[in-house]
Amino acid sequence: MRPFRHAPRGWPGGLWSAAAALMLLYPLAGLFVPVGTWRWDDGGSTLAAVRVSLELTLLAMAVVVAVGTPMAIYIARRPPSERAWWQMILLISVLLPPLALGILLSLAFGPQTPAGQWLAQAGVRTSNSVPAFVVTQVYVSLGYYVLGAVSAIERVPRSLEIHAALLGHGSWSIFRRITFPLARLGLAVALSLAWVRALGEFGAVMITAYYPAGIPVQLWVDLQNFGLPSVLPLLVVFLVAALPLPWLLHVLAQRQSSPTAEHA
Amino acid sequence: MLEAQVVKQRRDLRVEAALRVETGASLALFGPSAAGKSTVLSCIAGAEVPDEGRIELDGRILFPPSLALARRNVGYLTQSAELFPHLTVEQNVRFGVPSEDGRAHQAWIAELTETLSLAPVWNASAGRISGGQARRVAIARMMARRPPLVLLDEPFAGLDRDVVRALVRALREWQRRIGFSIIAVDHHAETLERLCGRVLVIEGGRGVQEGTWEEVRRAPATPRLQSLLAPL
């Protein structure tokens, strides 16, 4: 007998879901509202904002992966009680309102703080600088990545890693050949969430690194100074840069067959 | 030779077992369900760490301290094949074989492939083969390394009798040629008897009798054992 895979079909449920989906997509209709001729900033600041956002977010994601992946591997293999503590700590960073996080980062790392002064002596400016921008992005997105990565790694059966070890493989080899291939889509989804979170960050970045201006801050500046016609082109660039990657990964993840489907 | 004393506290059972298996010999662990047989195997394999005890294999101390899994050189087969589902059958079988190993290993793997009839699925994804095929692949993957000790934790459960008979025959033949030791757990005394000359009976976490199958059948140490050995 075929397993029961789908909920019963019925037009009320479908209609309700379609209405909700339309509601979610409706804001995109704003792109077609006549607001005058779209104007691309000719001073170069818009292009610079796109470059800043993409380059520095990529850099931040490299840091997030480098810091977060070993952490996620460790947490995923801890007993449930210990794992819950780690996840609680990570949730704090996820749940903090961005503006509050920005203020806290300024208070902790600002130029007037001991940490800020020490870093300044080492040549690192902790406010309105590339390091400030990247560090803020790392702070706002690391929790999202690690929580998602823990969930992805948890789904790889521990018994497979044990058998790989019994077949003579060390930790790195097991991660490279077993854990990562089986968890990669989950890791990619986690990274894409972190990417969207970092790229779209406005509140915290505005406090710690108003300069160099990324896309969100530039959108705000353009909206304030020139109004909607100058904002919409940048908004489209923002959507194109931010959305396709996580959307594609989400679709792929949905299609992925369960890695533990057959061990019998 | 393997010498093991294993003490492991389970939630509702304290396992305390001692066993000794000469090089090239076989020992069956037999007893009722949840008696601690699999715990003993798991501790020897290293999948679990004993609370106390000592495990020594051919002069190497496996515990204490617990030797890293990758360095134990122990074959361990469980009821679920635990194949790597994203790899092909060939990649699974070769997984434990260093790539620099040469012709002798190639010939050995070719023999495993033929004996276990793996050719039809050799290039198939391990996640998409049948349960019986998966069990055969798991045996080939374990044997490819020629481990000095093979631990079998109900690897034949759910397989047809013909298949079990063929696998047992293959294991015994390889054991005769290579000289590895076997410790096997199974619920079917008949299967164990074909595979292992001696048996250690475990009940309530403790070894209650050890001897040849004939000795154990002739004078079972407990009523429970007598019942387990009685024909249906």
Tell me the CATH number at B50: 3.40.50.300
Q: State yes or no: ipTM above 0.90.
A: yes
Check residue A262 and give its pLDDT: 39
Whether residues B25 and B67 fall in one domain = yes
Q: Higher confidence at residue B116 or residue A40?
A: B116
Does the beta-carbon distance from B134 to A263 stay under 8 Å? Answer: yes
Indicate if the pLDDT at residue A258 is higher than 60. no
Structure tokens given for B226: 């007598």
Indicate if the pLDDT at residue A126 is higher than 60. yes
Burial status of residue A22 (CB atoms within 10 A of its CB: 0-12, 13-18, 19 or more)? exposed
What is d(CA A232, CA B57) in angstroms, rounded to the nearest whole number? 72
Give the closest-approach CA distance of A194 to chain B in angstroms. Answer: 26
Interface membership of A158 toward B (CB under 8 Å): no
**Is B126 part of any domain?**
yes
**Is B165 part of any domain?**
yes
Whether residues B16 and B131 fall in one domain = no
Question: Which of B70, B128, B141 has its CB closest to that of A262?
Answer: B128
Does the beta-carbon distance from B127 to A262 stay under 8 Å? Answer: yes
- Choose the final residue of a domain: B127, B146, B165: B146
Interface membership of A77 toward B (CB under 8 Å): no
Quick one: which of A84, A68, A129, A127 has its CA closest to A103?
A127
Q: What is the pLDDT of residues B193-206, one digit of tens each?
A: 999 999 999 999 99
Contacts with B104 (C-beta within 8 Å, 6 or more apart), sequence order: none
Whether residues B154 and B223 fall in one domain = yes
Neighbours of A59 (CB within 10 A): 17
Domain ranges of chain A: 43-255
Indicate if the pLDDT at residue B105 is higher than 80. yes
**Is B213 part of any domain?**
yes
Contacts with A27 (C-beta within 8 Å, 6 or more apart), sequence order: none
B26, β-bridge pairs: B182
Whether residues B116 and B154 fall in one domain = no
Contacts with B195 (C-beta within 8 Å, 6 or more apart), sequence order: B26, B28, B152, B168, B171, B172, B182, B184
Question: Which of A169, A181, A264 has its CB closest to that of B81?
Answer: A264
Indicate if the pLDDT at residue B141 is higher than 70. yes
Of all residues in chain B, the one with the smallest CA distance to A181 is B86
Check residue A47 and give its pLDDT: 84
- Choose the final residue of a domain: B94, B111, B146: B146
Whether residues B57 and B162 fall in one domain = yes
Q: Which domain holds residue B120?
A: 84-146
Report the SS3 class of residue A123.
coil
Indicate if the pLDDT at residue A157 is higher than 60. yes
**Is B78 part of any domain?**
no
A29-43, A53-67, B4-18: least confident range: A29-43
Report the SS3 class of residue A54.
helix
Whether residues B122 and B162 fall in one domain = no
What is d(CA B222, CA B206) in angstroms, rounded to the nearest whole number? 12
Whether residues B51 and B156 fall in one domain = yes
Mean pLDDT of A190-197: 92
Domain at A43-255, CATH homologous superfamily: MetI-like (1.10.3720.10)
Whether residues B62 and B88 fall in one domain = no
Contact in structure between B153 and B135 (CB atoms under 8 Å): no
Indicate if the pLDDT at residue B101 is higher than 80. no
Does the beta-carbon distance from A262 to B98 stay under 8 Å? Answer: no
Structure tokens given for B109: 């793997």
A129-133, B29-33, B97-101: least confident range: B97-101
For the sheet with B2-9, list strands across it: B60-63, B52-57, B2-9, B14-21, B206-212, B198-203, B26-30, B181-185, B149-153, B74-77
In one-letter notation, the amino acid at residue A200 is G
Quick one: which of A53, A101, A97 has its CA closest to A216?
A53
**Locus of tokens 């160099």:** A212
Whether residues B67 and B180 fall in one domain = yes
Mean pLDDT of B133-160: 92
Of all residues in chain B, the one with the smallest CA distance to A167 is B96
B184, β-bridge pairs: B28, B152
Question: Which of B76, B82, B145 has its CB closest to that of A263?
Answer: B82
Structure tokens given for B10: 């389970």
Upstream peptide bond of A34 is cis (omega within 30 degrees of 0):
no
- Choose the final residue of a domain: B98, B121, B146: B146
Whether residues B154 and B56 fall in one domain = yes
Q: How far is CA A93 from CA A26, A107, A110, A212, in A?
A: 31, 16, 19, 24
Structure tokens given for A243: 């959305």
**Is B79 part of any domain?**
no
Structure tokens given for A130: 């590339």
Whether residues B198 and B92 fall in one domain = no
pTM: 0.83
Backbone phi and psi for residue B206, each to the nearest 5 degrees, phi listed first: -120, 150
